[in-house]
Chains A and B, each alone.
Chain A
């Protein structure tokens, strides 16, 4: 599709969507959001690029092949599970290495740990999975009409 409007808007929207997806991913820690919905939003960005500039351009923007992204994400989620098993003896148990307990009993530091790793894994699985399916469908349709 060659539409000047679409490709101009995409150039503005795609980076915004990607930033927003990371925001949603991190927001999911305590509020509605998280890896799944964040991944879907990120996938929308790449699908938008492929609609405006073509599938090849979207693949270039993604840099890595979609299924490899999904595989990496799955690996991260499994590693997050084993992290809990090894450190605390329960599979998928949340581990917070950067949280510090102050003298007055309050918590400080950064809430970054195995949960974020798991969510990041989900994020990547969704991006990879959705983009992989979409690009393959796009390819099949393209072969039919060409």
Chain B
């Protein structure tokens, strides 16, 4: 019980304390660091528990499922909660140096903690309606995070972001209503039983389409991706890192969860939609990343490339492809955070974010350059980094099912990604700078989390066995959710 509540209650409590202590910058910093540390610790405990004992569930207020509010953690959600806590911890430390006084005073830390609570809540929610509530929590918190800087470009990005996401959550609510009308249930495990063999009914298909629309918008799939490149480069680097690492991944996670447990991922209609959307997401991501000259806009499109690859994994839909998708999902959380943080450091050192104005950092900061190379290899998926293994697993899965088109798409996508990050790297480190560099050094708060994440990117690549095992058993339990259902509803049926 406590294990499942703490990843949600700890950040909420931290947010409350930060709100009450908002007059003192030092107190807010201490509280948010301690709170995020506690979250990471609670996530690790949750992971260890689920890893040995299997899925665990808890009913809020003691009202039994399927009618109570259910929290569930299986191996996939527990691992994601753990990684969320870890990334959150690094981001909080990074923010100490990166955030301006105004952003901290306007409540960056409060919103960041609420966002963490929303993300963990979405990972742990056991029924559709609470999933919707956590999505709204995330939406409100991310709107706050986008505008705490108070610049007009941030408001512009935030309006696009909230506009599209509001449509998505409304569609989600409509889909949930349809599902409830058609089946009389909202609990995911209960719906798994209620909708067994009914995946072809018009109401169910319509609801599936609405939810697919909502989750595809959340994860920035083609053609619903506009909000992502419009908003990700406007706020502070801390906020960008938090968003890029977590938000789109929640979309992919919920898509995987709902479309294996409630709907049928292998329905031909959904399959073909995911196929087309995946390939186009990949293509738009690669071309956008090659075209852009603003560093964080390049990164925003690179996030789309990773979403495209995961969509293709879901489009193939068999156990092996899902294993690759989950592996990709878990490692991309770390890699994306590392990449955004590395670019945050580079932008700080060169005083600009435009690729054509950067340059010359290799001479003055070779260590930062070395770390950047590691992160870059991780994004492009080149050994010895963690980005390599999911692509191997995915391509292997596609090839064994004769999906040659998908193999080619992933290979070309990786090549394009490599080109885009190389371009970023050579612009920032090798090119002759237009203006003399500001001559800054990285402080501890920026350098330490970036180094830790870069080390993690390599470490998870060298000892890949850990994540591969998690992905292996998590994908098996996604395809056969008997134990999950049993742990939520009890073994009575």
Those of B1-22 within 8 Å (CB) of chain A:
1-2, 5, 9, 12-13, 15-17, 19-20, 22
- Contact partner of B61 (CB less than 8 A), chosen from A71, A72, A90, is A90
Interface string of A60-82 (1 = CB under 8 A from B): 00000001101110110010011
B266 at the interface (CB under 8 A from A): no
Most interface-central of A72, A85, A91 (chain B CB within 10 A): A91
Q: Are B19 and A90 in contact (CB under 8 A)?
A: no
Those of A11-65 within 8 Å (CB) of chain B:
none
Q: Are A90 and B9 in contact (CB under 8 A)?
A: no
Known contacts A81-B9, A85-B5, A93 near B61 by CB under 8 Å: yes
- Contact partner of B20 (CB less than 8 A), chosen from A75, A82, A90, is A75
Q: Which chain A positions have C-beta within 8 A of B59?
A: 90
Q: How far is the CB of B203 from chain A (nearest CB, A)?
A: 31
Identity of the chain B residue whose Cβ is nearest the Cβ of A76 in the assembled complex: B16
Those of B40-80 within 8 Å (CB) of chain A:
58-62
Q: Are B20 and A71 in contact (CB under 8 A)?
A: yes
Cα of A116 to Cα of B22 in the assembled complex, Å: 27
Q: Are A71 and B16 in contact (CB under 8 A)?
A: yes
Identity of the chain A residue whose Cβ is nearest the Cβ of B15 in the assembled complex: A74
A89 at the interface (CB under 8 A from B): yes
Q: How far is the CB of B78 from chain A (nearest CB, A)?
A: 18
Cα of A67 to Cα of B15 in the assembled complex, Å: 12
A92 at the interface (CB under 8 A from B): yes
Q: How large is the interface on B (under 10, 10 to 19, 20 to 34, 35 or more residues)?
A: 10 to 19
Q: Are A71 and B12 in contact (CB under 8 A)?
A: no
Q: Are A68 and B20 in contact (CB under 8 A)?
A: yes
Those of B453-483 within 8 Å (CB) of chain A:
none
Known contacts A71-B19, A71-B20, A75-B20, A90 near B1 by CB under 8 Å: yes
Known contacts A68-B20, A70-B19, A75-B16, A89 near B1 by CB under 8 Å: yes
Identity of the chain B residue whose Cβ is nearest the Cβ of A91 in the assembled complex: B5
Cα of A89 to Cα of B58 in the assembled complex, Å: 11
Known contacts A85-B2, A85-B5, A91 near B16 by CB under 8 Å: no
Q: How far is the CB of B122 from chain A (nearest CB, A)?
A: 18
Known contacts A78-B13, A85-B1, A85-B2, A92 near B20 by CB under 8 Å: no
Identity of the chain B residue whose Cβ is nearest the Cβ of A125 in the assembled complex: B16
Cα of A88 to Cα of B63 in the assembled complex, Å: 12
Q: Which chain B positions have C-beta within 8 A of A74?
A: 12, 15-16, 19
Q: Which chain A positions have C-beta within 8 A of B2?
A: 85
Q: Are B16 and A78 in contact (CB under 8 A)?
A: yes
Q: Which chain B positions have C-beta within 8 A of A71?
A: 16, 19-20
Q: Are A91 and B20 in contact (CB under 8 A)?
A: no
Interface string of B115-132 (1 = CB under 8 A from A): 000000000000000000
Q: Which chain B positions have C-beta within 8 A of A92?
A: 60-61
Cα of A72 to Cα of B21 in the assembled complex, Å: 11
Q: Are B62 and A88 in contact (CB under 8 A)?
A: yes
Q: Which chain A positions have C-beta within 8 A of B15?
A: 74
Q: Are A91 and B22 in contact (CB under 8 A)?
A: no
Known contacts A75-B16, A78-B13, A78-B16, A67 near B22 by CB under 8 Å: yes
Identity of the chain A residue whose Cβ is nearest the Cβ of B2 in the assembled complex: A85
Q: Which chain B positions have C-beta within 8 A of A68?
A: 19-20
Q: How far is the CB of A75 from chain B (nearest CB, A)?
A: 5
- Contact partner of B60 (CB less than 8 A), chosen from A75, A78, A82, A90, is A90
Identity of the chain A residue whose Cβ is nearest the Cβ of B107 in the assembled complex: A67
Cα of A70 to Cα of B16 in the assembled complex, Å: 9
Cα of A81 to Cα of B4 in the assembled complex, Å: 13
Cα of A81 to Cα of B22 in the assembled complex, Å: 24
Q: Which chain B positions have C-beta within 8 A of A75?
A: 13, 16-17, 20
Cα of A74 to Cα of B110 in the assembled complex, Å: 12
Q: Which chain B positions have C-beta within 8 A of A93?
A: 61-62
Q: Which chain A positions have C-beta within 8 A of B17?
A: 75
Q: Which chain B positions have C-beta within 8 A of A70?
A: 19
Known contacts A78-B12, A81-B9, A85-B5, A91 near B19 by CB under 8 Å: no
Interface string of A82-120 (1 = CB under 8 A from B): 101100111111100000000000000000000000000
Q: Which residues of B contact A (CB under 8 A)?
A: 1-2, 5, 9, 12-13, 15-17, 19-20, 22, 58-62
Could you write out 8 A-B pairs with CB less than 8 Å apart?
A68-B19, A71-B19, A75-B20, A78-B9, A91-B1, A91-B9, A93-B61, A93-B62
Closest 3 CB pairs of A and B: A90-B62, A71-B19, A71-B20
